[in-house]
Amino acid sequence: MQSRNKFFDDMSQLMTNAMGVAQGARTEAETAMKSVMDRWLAGRDFVTREEFDAVRLMAQKAREENEALSARLAALEAAAAAKQG
């Protein structure tokens, strides 16, 4: 009976060790893949989300300023036309 328990203990230990090795290999593969993806993305002209949001806000502000200036110009032109006519 003792030898049977030892066999199962040894098998259990072997499986535990194999799972540890598999987990280590998985972590190593994930790290390598992340490194490859980071290098690939760095070689492209992609922007970060923060950069995109900053430019979007700048464009929105410029659009609002343009609309305000257009309205002001239209009011000045109307006032000038009223003085002439």
- pLDDT tens readout for residues 32-64: 999 999 888 888 888 889 999 999 999 999 999
What's the total number of domains in the chain? 2
Has this prediction a pTM greater than 0.75?
no
Q: What is the mean pLDDT of residues 15-19?
A: 90
Q: Are 40 and 55 part of one and the same domain? A: no
CA distances from 5 to 13, 14, 17, 20, 65 (A): 12, 14, 18, 22, 81
| Distance of alpha carbon 55 from alpha carbon 47, whole angstroms | 10
Q: Are 58 and 39 part of one and the same domain? A: no
What pLDDT is stored for residue 85 in this prediction? 73
Q: Are 1 and 42 part of one and the same domain? A: yes
Position 60, amino acid? Q
Residue 84 belongs to domain spanning:
47-85
Q: Are 6 and 37 part of one and the same domain? A: yes
| Distance of alpha carbon 7 from alpha carbon 10, whole angstroms | 5
